[in-house]
Chain A
Amino acid sequence: MRINLLPEAERPLKQNAIRWEFLVIFFGLVLFITINTYAYLQTLTIQMQQQKYDNLVSYGNMLQHQYQKVSALQNENQELSDKIAQYERIVRSPDVDTAPEDLQQIVNAAPERVWLEFLELGETGIAIAGYTTDSSLVSLYLQRLRKNGFDAAVNSLNQSEIGASLFRFTITSQRGE
């Protein structure tokens, strides 16, 4: 039997024991290498990204020329659109403006033996004056006007001074919806 008389701190380490200093140094070295390796990889990434950026800038510059041309075309297109909008606005709309067709419809609606003397189509409405030999024909005329889309009403209906068989009438009307 062998007895180690050395103090415990002086005794050699067991074969499977690892010094803490070694572990700390090893971990420090691993950390150092990892950081630098990662930094190197980042350098490569930067180079790749820089290359990609340069390519993009170069492609962008090439596109810029075409883009400016297309932008000029877009401006031209917009100017034409503005012109068309203006022209469409000033071109007469039959639904809104007074049209000769309205005049013809009002004249055509008059039954036989109804004679017109005066017809005015204005912004405020329509005024019709005429005469007939049969007062019931005025009602027929109103019906026909309404059928053609005019909201018409008799304003006056008077017997003429020359005899019982002539009636003077006035009608006011509006273009219906």
Chain B
Amino acid sequence: MVEVKFAKDKKSLLQFALIGLIYLAAAVSFLVILRPRIGEVHRLQSVIAQEENQVQLMERVVQRRSQIEAGIKEQAQAVKAFENVIPTADNFPEILAAINELTSSYRVELINLNYLPVQTENLDAWYSMSLTIAGSYGDVYKAIEALTAAFPSLSIRSLTAVSSINEQVFLETDFNLYIVPVEWAVRGSWQRPVWQETNSEIAGAFGVPLQYIEELFANSLKLIGIVRVHGGEHRALVSFNGTQEWKKIGDSLGIGTIMEIHESELVLDVHGVRLSINMGGNRGEG
């Protein structure tokens, strides 16, 4: 009876041991084999996603290569076009020579051309310059227009035109001539301007300074008498600068020219300003 019971207990123990072993093996398989593999799969998925993103990014960049190359070509042309007209510091002697040439090409007199050494601020580099030229208004205007057209990086700070006697205009301008930054300068890129004279006439409204007209009358200009000579022409006796002289049409009188002589008045033209002088006195008139 005791033997039977022992045998039964042994069988139950074996059963439990087998069950325990199976579940232990399952647990060990899960912990030692499956779980690290799941982790590895997740790690690989993560690094693959990361690598794919990087590859996609590179692909997108690489795909734009032709577009970037076309952009470079286009921009290089634009830069070259700018550098053809914007001088470098090395070109400064040529710039001065070009300005001198400009004045002779446009028949203007170069009164002065001053400049300061090159100034820089961040990327900006420029010469601060001043130029004074004289000539007829049309010529000085055409010269300054040609100068600004030839130097698009020229920034005018001030422009002053003053009329002078003999219908001359003095034009003074202060300007900054911006140049290619020193670190970008490419030797030989700037094209020296070729001045092309235009034949177009530009009329100006600059007259002789009023001060000269006033001086003319301040010098005791007086019409003393008028006579008619043979042929019907008039002669005028004029007192000017303390002397008396007979004058006819076309004669000069101070800075003016006698245009008309009537019975009791004389018409004087002072560079376009017509002044009427009455017998015994004077007055201005258009």
**Which residues of chain A come closer than 8 Å to B159, judged between CB atoms?**
98, 100, 102-103, 120-122
Bound CA–CA A50/B40 (angstroms)? 10
**A contact face: mostly helix, strand, loop, or mixed:** helix
Measured in the bound complex, the distance between the Cα atoms of B25 and A107 in whole Å is 106
CB pair B48 A162 closer than 8 Å: no
The one of B72, B184, B273, B276 in contact with A73, judged by C-beta atoms closer than 8 angstroms, is B72
Is B283 touching A84 in the complex (CB atoms < 8 A)? no
- Give the contacts of A106-148 with B (CB-CB under 8 A): 107-108, 110, 113-123, 130-134
Q: Is the interface of B mostly helix, strand, loop or mixed?
A: helix
Cβ of A49 and Cβ of B41 under 8 Å apart? yes
Pairwise interchain contact A56-B44, C-beta atoms closer than 8 A: no
Q: In the docked arrangement, what's the CA distance between A160 and B284, Å?
A: 9
- Are A84 and B65 also in contact (CB < 8 A) when A115-B206, A121-B158 are? no
Q: Does A28 contact B (CB under 8 A)?
A: yes
A107 to B15 alpha-carbon distance, docked (Å): 120
A166 within 8 A of B: yes
Nearest B residue to A19 via CB reads B15
Q: Tell me whether A31 and B26 are in contact in the complex, defined as CB-CB below 8 angstroms, given that A73-B68, A99-B148 are known contacts.
A: yes
Which one of B75-83, B90-98, B191-199, B236-244 is at the A interface?
Answer: B75-83
Distance between A136 CB and nearest chain B CB, rounded to angstroms: 12
Instruction: Give a binary string over B210-253; 1 marks a CB under 8 Å from any A CB, 0 the rest.
Output: 10011001000000000000000000000000000000000000
- Interface size range of chain B in the complex: 35 or more
Q: Interface 1/0s, chain A 10-27, versus B by CB < 8 A?
A: 000000000001001100
A97 to B161, CA, bound (A): 17
B residues 91-122 touching A (CB-CB < 8 Å): none
Known A-B contacts A35-B26, A73-B69; A116 and B207 likewise in contact (beta carbons under 8 Å): yes
Residues of A bordering B, CB below 8 Å: 21, 24-25, 28-29, 31-32, 35-36, 38-39, 42-43, 45-46, 49-50, 52-53, 56-57, 59-60, 63-64, 66-67, 69-71, 73-74, 76-77, 80-81, 83-84, 86-87, 90-92, 97-104, 107-108, 110, 113-123, 130-134, 160-166, 168
B residues bordering A, Cβ < 8 Å?
A: 15, 18-19, 22-23, 25-26, 29-30, 33-34, 37-38, 40-41, 44-45, 47-48, 51-52, 54-55, 58-59, 61-62, 64-65, 68-69, 71-72, 75-76, 78-79, 82-83, 86, 123-124, 126, 137, 141, 144-145, 148, 152-163, 178, 180-181, 184, 202, 204-210, 213-214, 217, 272-273, 276, 282-286
